[in-house]
Amino acid sequence: TMNEGFTSTELGLKGIPRVAEELATAREVLLAEYTGAPVHIAHVSTAGAVRIIREGKARGVQVTCETAPHYFTLTDAAVRGYNTNAKMNPPLREAADVAAIKAGLQDGTIDCIATDHAPHHLDDKDVEFNEAMNGIIGLETSLPLALRLVAEGVLTLPQMVEKMALNPARLLGLGRGTLQPGAPADITVIDPDLQWTVTAEGLLSKSKNSPFLGQAMQGGARCTVVGGKVVYQREK
């Protein structure tokens, strides 16, 4: 899928309008308000959806949400050339939406940053755009892209950690996402100055469907500990 707009018209592709996401978001927020039940909105990608969630929270609705790094980093221009590695659902939007996502992260409207990690075999992506599967791998690039928000002054480093670790754990009731004594030893050691380039050969994922191939990154995980056991250690 791709966003309905200038780029979709230019490429001759059918686009998904922002209002499709915004209608669904408004419905869920209104139902949560009516029933008093909590609702979590996944993959927020439009300025309108951010506004609806912000207004719902201001009214006391139990609504939380997440977005993914590609929605605050890329626009639908990444699809030019019929790049299937930039095809996802919801689709990449436009610059105004990217700005709104950042604003939503900054003011607390958006609670979490998720990876939206969706691996696909080359056979699912190396086809005509309309036939390609939706989804990209996001796990390995999520941290450096989130660190860009820190570099830009959108979030502080503690706020970024809150969006990626503490808030998701809290919303899921896991009792994790913290370094408090007695908490599970789930730790990621971050090197904010690590310089690296996204390449198919360098990605640990068996799938290579990333829209960031060839891009320079700063920051990454040096070591990951799960339950007190080292499960990943960067070699260089």
Report d(CA 72, CA 78) in Å as an integer.
13
Q: Is 76 a catalytic residue?
A: no
How many beta carbons lie within 10 A of that of residue 224, not counting itself? 15
Pick the catalytic residue: 76, 111, 116, 186?
116
The separation between CA 232 and the C-alpha centre of its own chain, rounded to angstroms, equals 22
Could you give the angle at which helices 18-35 and 47-58 cross, rounded to 10 degrees? 10
Virtual torsion, Cα 11, 14, 19, 20, nearest 10 deg: -140
Check: CB of residue 221 under 8 Å from CB of residue 194: no
Residue partners of 28: CB distance under 8 A and separation at least 6: 39, 41, 63
Check: CB of residue 39 under 8 Å from CB of residue 51: no
Long-range contacts of 54-57 (CB under 8 A, 24+ apart): 54/104, 54/107, 54/109, 56/29, 56/32, 57/109
Output the furthest CA–CA distance in the chain (Å, rounded): 57
3-state SS, 40-65, equals: EECCCCCHHHHHHHHHHHHCCCCEEE
How many beta carbons lie within 10 A of that of residue 142, not counting itself? 20
What are the catalytic residues? 116
